[in-house]
Amino acid sequence: MARARVLIRPKEGILDPQGKAVERALPALGFEGVEHVRVGRMVELDAEDPERLSELCEKLLANPLIEDYEIQTL
Amino acid sequence: MTVGVAKHRELGLTDSEYDLIVEKLGREPNDVELAMFSLLWSEHCAYKHSRKLLRRLPTEGERVVMGPGENAGAVDVGGGYAVAFKVESHNHPSAVEPFQGAATGVGGILRDVFALGARPIAILDSLRFGELDSVRSRHLLDGAVRGIGHYGNSIGVATVGGEIYFEPPYEHNCLVNAMCVGLAKTEEMVRAAAAGVGNAVVLMGASTGRDGIGGASVLASAELGDGDDAKRPTVQIGDPFEESKVLECCLELLGKGLLVSLQDLGAAGLTSSAGEMASAGGVGIDIDVARVPLREADMEPFEIMVSESQERMLAVVEPSRVDEVLAVCEKWQTESAEIGVVTDSGQVRVLRDGEVVGEMPVEALVDGCPLYDLDPAEPDGWIYGNRQTLDPGATAGETLLALLSSANVASKRWAFEQYDSVVGSRTVRRPESADAAVLQLPEAGSAIAVSIDGNGRRVACDPYAGTVEAVLECAQNLACVGAEPLGLTNCLNFGNPEKPAGAWQLDRAVSGLADACEALGVPVVGGNVSLYNEGPDGPIYPTPVVGLVGELPDPERACGSAFASEGDAIALLGPFQPSLAGSELAKLRGELEMGLPQSDIAAVAAACTTVREAVRAGKLSSAHDVSDGGLACALAESAIAGDLGCRVDLSPLLDRSISSEEALFGEGRGGFVLSGERAALESLASNATEVLILGEVGGEKIEVTTGDASLAIGLVEAERAWNAISRAIAL
Amino acid sequence: MIWGVLQFPGSCDERDALHACSLLGEARLIWHEERDLGGADAVVVPGGFSYGDYLRAGAIARFSPAMEAVAEFAAAGGPVLGICNGFQVLCEAGLLPGALLRNEDLRFTCRQVELQVGHLNLPEETQVSALPGGTLSIPAKHGEGRYWAPEEMLDELEANGQVAYRYAPGHNPNGSARDIAGVRNKAGNVVGLMPHPEHAVDPLTGSTDGLRIFEAVAAAGAPA
């Protein structure tokens, strides 16, 4: 069994209101100089067949039209 | 655990309560038993300081199908149908984590209603926070509204009404009260009492984790190691998707007659559900914790018994039907397990894999808690402070704008647009379009109206009179849509009852509630009490929140609150005797003090009847009760909503020995602002009810004269003021 | 005319959709595990929070057996209407172009909106242009309704007449691209929109403009 972590982010160029909201709130909390915040999702799983992970990402975990994904094997 | 402090004290039990437990058991309790007693004997579960007072409330009536003591109350609405409803608080969890606190509050009250076999059809919420200039209060408001929306919208029950108030005494103790209304065929409703020795006890829904164990964790025999806090979430996390599956599953089980009884799991989890089901049925109950589906493998028996994991229901099932029940749960993708059995032992027994780890008499656990008398004493004057925010030189017009933009009076559109108010296709009057929510019940051939109201500030001025007003406000709201009250639910949110002032507030408020309900002939069918709402700055305003359900024959005739036609006459109907005591204006001026006029309940009731019948006869264009901000605000609200101005003269009102200012901005019960054809309005006057024609609908301004004061505000300007909250939030 | 309305765990508006469809024919619920559409002449994928909107709205529901059957039905030209969550499911399933994202202000919103219509498949005299203002008044209620597609795809949709519904000026509740409220596929038999026509069929609870949207779907499926 291979443990993997999939990071899913909104594609560049897509409006990410969550990322924007976080970015806007930071200075008031004392964090200057933080930009280009993008908020995504993280999925962790154990997979018997790591070869099929890309397919799983393409089909279900991410929507390729609007999201990028990155697979990290742990 | 603090060395030297007895375990029972850490769990909130007094020494004498502990001694009583020992006496009832005939021995010292073990940890499992101590944990269970500490929860069921807590104020929250046992109503130690309020139960004696609550006996004053009238609970019977010919339309009552279920009264206090069941999961929710229910009234007969004809056609073989009953409407179930209840309001409950989730104050302390919401102050910690407003999103989940409010969300799980909604989840809990939904379960109380479908535990009776009623399909939830509406949610209303009553919220109170500190002033909006506080970052913390904005955070709590935002979280609570999102939480209610998240849960209600996801599960597909329309949120059709509510109220939100902002007052300094709620800064450290916000109030989140959630009300649910459901519909059931009367003959298919089910009670909570366990019955049938030998019947199986089945747990359905989410798995059980360590949610809400909190204080009882002092009993844990083993440290959890790193990340202890993370493993004992004090915040319960709600899952509306799970609840929607559990809801459909339960309704299908009840529809098929597969359940003997049903109870939801709320505060104190399995302990209270199992205990209360056994108590109501006069039976005993055995629970084997080894058979409870767990989220975490290493939970101890006491943890399993006190866990407050959400979205779980407990059912009693005849042994021959257990397999069918489990199959229906499977269909709805919700977990289920047979975890116990109904016995004739009169005991609640907790077992682990067949070995008894706790054993208590049902009576001792559920009804054995001592009930306390209060020691009330009226406080010496106003204890809540004052804060002036309105310029003393403000003109009448400026005062009206200040009131319209004050958070208590202003439109709550920002909040209610985050709620799905249309799902279910029953909503005839959406939020802020009429004084009460109206829902059609085509299957019963009728319709209902619902309102939830309370004004803690006015109750603080006079707990008796203020509570009477809360009931009358609900009744007036229902009258405006043509509804006659059927039953009442209430949530009593108060401070510390062990303090004389707090005790006095609670005592007087319950009397006010009892007397008002008695006089109106409206039974109290259920409710909730939340005490000890106090912070470093003192107690909250004493806040009885009242939920009223009524029926109306023709929902199409339900009046809106907006002026509808240019040229319509405007009238004030009813025994409205305004005063500035406890008013929004007094608050803005920093002039709040003790004292409130007493309402003439009979006269207000007569006015309600007149308005109700006029609405049902289709005689009115609009109906709106006079409430926060007084008559000027009520007129402005009807004008803004209808996008039609008005020209009124309040001089006729001055014959009631009041000043111009009182006429414009004074508050109190009994006033209705009506619009319609002049002759129709005049025809409503009688010996019992006075009607004053004030003016007419028209133009683009709100023009009000009273003799020595007058104001003229443009509709556009008024509307902007009334929508101030959206700008104030800016989150 | 037989309408099939899908039902997933977590669907909310399927009963309202069922009622709306029953005003225009016979209507049945199709449980998500069913592959058999029961002879439906038209299929409605309703609103709600199928599977709790977990992962992404509609992402799990699109794999259900019922949706596989709907995909075949659509490929054969059968009329399909996706409402709100249903629209999300159809986009996830690739039966409609584009995707639905979180509302721009990050809040769920429930309000009445005015929709402009891109060519309704109805007889001339019942065309929506006969309505005052030429728009449909329909409730919208969603938190993830912001329609998005790459610019080139949007240009293509406009050129092909695939923009079925657009928010009237000032009525866009979620920041969707080009004020798009609903789209149809190239063949025109599959249409999805975020607002809820099933909540606009009863004068007692609001407008009845929603009936037009169901009528358009029925017209698409009427036997030749």
Per residue in B75-124, pLDDT tens? 999 999 999 999 999 999 899 889 999 999 999 999 999 999 999 999 99
Q: Which residues lie closer than 8 Å to B345 by C-beta, 6 or more apart? A: B284, B286
> Is the CB of A14 less than 8 angstroms away from the CB of C101?
yes
Q: What is the pLDDT of residue B215?
A: 65
Rounded CA-CA distance B429/B409 in Å is: 20
Which of B44, B49, B150, B624 does the annotation list as catalytic? B44
Q: Average pLDDT for residues A51-66, to the nearest whole number?
A: 91
Digit-coded pLDDT (tens) for C48-104: 988 788 778 888 888 899 999 999 999 999 999 999 999 999 999 999 999 999 999
pLDDT band at B237 (very low <50, low <70, confident <90, very high): confident
Selecting from A17, A60, A65 the residue whose C-beta is nearest the C-beta of C102 gives A17
- How many C-beta neighbours within 10 Å does residue A3 have? 12
Q: What is the pLDDT of residue C118?
A: 86
Residue B225 has pLDDT above 60, yes or no: no
- How many C-beta neighbours within 10 Å does residue B458 have? 27
Residues B342, B194: contact at Cβ < 8 Å?
yes
For residue B673, tell me if it sits in a domain: yes
Check which CATH number belongs to the domain holding B358 and give it: 3.90.650.10
Residues A18, C102: contact at Cβ < 8 Å?
yes
Selecting from A14, A15, A63 the residue whose C-beta is nearest the C-beta of C56 gives A63
Interface list for C 153-182 with A (CB within 8 A) = 175
Q: Which residues lie closer than 8 Å to B644 by C-beta, 6 or more apart? A: B562, B563, B564, B565, B566, B697, B698, B699, B715
Query: Among A57-71, B377-391, B423-437, B577-591, which stretch is predicted with the lowest mean pLDDT?
Result: A57-71
pTM of this prediction? 0.94
User: Cα separations (Å) of B575 from B512, B614, B634, B656, B688?
Assistant: 19, 17, 16, 10, 9
Check which CATH number belongs to the domain holding C89 and give it: 3.40.50.880
Residue B232 has pLDDT above 90, yes or no: no
Chain C contact probe: residue of B146, B311, B422 with most C CBs at under 10 A: B422
Nearest CA in chain A to C105: A17
Digit-coded pLDDT (tens) for B537-555: 899 999 999 999 999 999 9
Rounded CA-CA distance B567/B565 in Å is: 6
- How many C-beta neighbours within 10 Å does residue B298 have? 9
Domains, chain A, in order of start with CATH, read 2-73 (3.30.1280.10)
* B636 phi/psi in degrees, rounded to 5: -60, -40
Rounded CA-CA distance B278/B346 in Å is: 8
> Is the CB of B426 less than 8 angstroms away from the CB of C205?
yes
Rounded CA-CA distance C50/B107 in Å is: 18
Rounded CA-CA distance B403/B394 in Å is: 12
Number of separate domains in chain B: 2
Higher-confidence residue of B10 and B153: namely: B153
Domain that holds residue C52: 2-221
Q: Average pLDDT for residues B42-53, to the nearest whole number?
A: 94
Amino acid code (one letter) for B460: A
> Is the CB of B422 less than 8 angstroms away from the CB of C110?
yes
Give, as one character, the DSSP assignment of residue B542. Answer: P
Q: Which residues lie closer than 8 Å to B377 by C-beta, 6 or more apart? A: B500, B501, B503, B504
Residues C56, C148: contact at Cβ < 8 Å?
no
Q: Average pLDDT for residues B121-139, to the nearest whole number?
A: 95
> Is the CB of C55 less than 8 angstroms away from the CB of A61?
yes
Q: What is the pLDDT of residue B6?
A: 87
Higher-confidence residue of B420 and C51: namely: B420
Residues B572, B694: contact at Cβ < 8 Å?
yes
User: Cα separations (Å) of B94 from B128, B140, B415, C36, C71?
Assistant: 11, 8, 17, 46, 44
Closest residue by Cα to residue C66 from C7, C17, C20: C7
Q: Is B2 exposed, middle or buried (0-12, 13-18, 19+ CB in 10 A)?
A: exposed
For residue B635, tell me if it sits in a domain: yes
C204 touches B: beta carbon within 8 Å: yes
Helix, strand, or coil (residue B262): strand
Digit-coded pLDDT (tens) for B471-486: 999 999 999 999 999 9
Interface list for A 5-64 with C (CB within 8 A) = 14-15, 17-18, 21, 41, 60-61, 63
> Percent of chain B having pLDDT more than 70?
96
The domain boundary, picked from B335, B367, B399, lies at B367
Distance of CA B340 to the CA centre of its chain: 33
The domain boundary, picked from B343, B367, B391, lies at B367
Residue C223 has pLDDT above 50, yes or no: no
Higher-confidence residue of B600 and C218: namely: B600
Residues A66, C99: contact at Cβ < 8 Å?
yes
Q: Average pLDDT for residues B560-578, to the nearest whole number?
A: 98
Higher-confidence residue of B596 and C10: namely: B596
Digit-coded pLDDT (tens) for B327-366: 999 988 899 999 999 999 999 999 999 999 999 999 999 9
Neighbours of chain C (3+ CB pairs under 8 A): A, B
Q: What is the pLDDT of residue B536?
A: 85
Rounded CA-CA distance C91/B641 in Å is: 39
C199 carries an active-site annotation = no
Number of separate domains in chain C: 1
For residue B287, tell me if it sits in a domain: yes
* A18 phi/psi in degrees, rounded to 5: -65, -45
Which of chain B's residues have a Cβ under 8 Å away from the Cβ of C53?
A: 154
Q: Which residues lie closer than 8 Å to B27 by C-beta, 6 or more apart? A: none
Residue B296 has pLDDT above 90, yes or no: no
Q: What is the pLDDT of residue A66?
A: 87
- Strands B64-66, B73-78: parallel, antiparallel or unpaired by DSSP? antiparallel
- How many C-beta neighbours within 10 Å does residue B716 have? 12
Which of C144, C196, C199, C215 does the annotation list as catalytic? C196
Domain that holds residue B311: 8-52+190-367
The domain boundary, picked from B367, B389, B408, lies at B367
Selecting from B239, B245, B423 the residue whose C-beta is nearest the C-beta of C9 gives B245
Rounded CA-CA distance A8/C58 in Å is: 17
Q: Which residues lie closer than 8 Å to C140 by C-beta, 6 or more apart? A: C109, C110, C111, C112, C113, C173, C181, C194, C195, C196
Which of C92, C114, C144, C198 does the annotation list as catalytic? C198
Which of chain C's residues have a Cβ under 8 Å away from the Cβ of A41?
A: 55
pLDDT band at C7 (very low <50, low <70, confident <90, very high): very high
- How many C-beta neighbours within 10 Å does residue B370 have? 11
Residue B130 has pLDDT above 70, yes or no: yes
Residues B87, B547: contact at Cβ < 8 Å?
yes
∠ at Cα B466 (B524, B631), nearest 5°?
115
- Enumerate the H helices of chain C as residue ranges: 14-22, 65-75, 85-92, 151-159, 210-221
